Amino acid sequence: MKFDVNEIRGLFPVLHQEVHGKPLIYFDNAATTQKPKAVLESLLNYYEHDNSNIHRGAHALADRATQYFENTRKSVRDFINARETEEIIFTKGTTESINLVAMTFGRKFIGKGDEIIISTMEHHSNIVPWQLLCEEKEAVLRVIPIHDNGELDYDAFEKLLSERTKLISIVHASNALGTINPVKKIIQAGHAVGAKVLLDGAQSTSHLEIDVQELDCDFLALSAHKLYGPTGLGVLYGKRDVLESMPPFLGGGEMIKEVTFEKTTFNDIPFKFEAGTPNIGDVIAFGAALNFVNTLGKKQIKAHEDELLAHANQQLGAIKGFDPIGTAAEKVAVISFNINGMHPFDVGQMLDARGIAVRTGHHCTQPLMKRFGIEGTVRASFSVYNTKSEIDQLAEGVARIAKIKNK
């Protein structure tokens, strides 16, 4: 498909509205992306024509719903190049995927004195589950420091590694800074000491080509709603042998083979980790979202987003009082910044009055904000439907706000 941003924008109904009397400019894509018509239509079509529970029905609606649901599992497999469809588990999102690993793999394989490594730039959902596990198991949480430009201190990471390291859980691309971490090197180094490696792919999967076999990660967590799909849905990828070694996450229907009052035998993967009625309609709609991305092509999407990021750096960087936070050489399309002396929330409100939607605050990365000695940032994050003209309007708004402060 030829990349035409105006044609692409026409596929997203939500973009064509006014906010406070101004055309909406949506730069909050790192929090959630907007949904193309095909995703909305897929969701409506399921509830209008195919609504049924899956896997166990003996009627036409159940057959259709099951087929469409499992087709999405195959699409996810292909999207990240997993070896097998059974390695794809549906969850509520990246947060639940990480918690699933903590509560199953972690409880079984992490013991007293063992060590888990994360980084300073992690989202709270990749900090808190490991803190809870370490407290329960008397394990130790190690944290990789970062440089002033927002890049990982790889030398410090290597010094943290030892035979006590049992798990490394690392963000692929930072939601707060945009930094792309050298995850392949991290995975190789982790495996060299016998550790398993989990990648938080919540941000990276919408911007970067992902090949879990080439990366050789043991786990990958991602969210549908950052990939033009519905909210409340995510994926955990895990290598077959690792998943099969883990106990179930939740008990109930679908995750069993046989239940008696004396003993329960558990289902095969992925169903062992999918207790209860799943989010059927949203899983099916996620398939439409993946098809949208595949039709455009990740390379074209990334090229467009890289152009937007470069343009934004140029336009915003020329503004007196603009203070970027995180200037790593390798980034996804995210810019975090402050305007000297102003609270991020005030800046966000003033931009909102101009119809520009950005995110403000600590972005669920409070330890990272503490590392930089700030309370939070303004974050503008770009996607496939954004334009250079919109970035020019952001820069104009930021320049006006900076002048108000500097008067």
Catalytic residues: 364
Q: Give SS3 for 366.
A: helix
Q: How far apart are the C-alpha atoms of 289 and 301, rounded to whole Å?
A: 14
Contact 211, 220 (CB under 8 A): no
Strands 18-19 and 22-23: antiparallel
Burial class (CB in 10 A: 0-12, 13-18, 19+), 328: buried
Q: How far apart are the C-alpha atoms of 277 and 151, rounded to whole Å?
A: 41
The enclosing H or E element of 161 equals none
Give strand pairing partners of 151. Answer: none
CA dihedral 51, 52, 53, 59 (to 10 degrees): -150
Q: Which of 201, 209, 197 is nearest to 239 (CA)?
A: 197
Q: What number of other Cβ atoms are within 10 A of residue 83's Cβ?
A: 12
Q: Which of 237, 264, 238, 233 is nearest to 250 (CA)?
A: 264
Burial class (CB in 10 A: 0-12, 13-18, 19+), 137: middle
Six-digit token string for 306: 């890289």
Backbone angles phi, psi at 364, to 5 degrees: 55, 35
Six-digit token string for 182: 């050298």
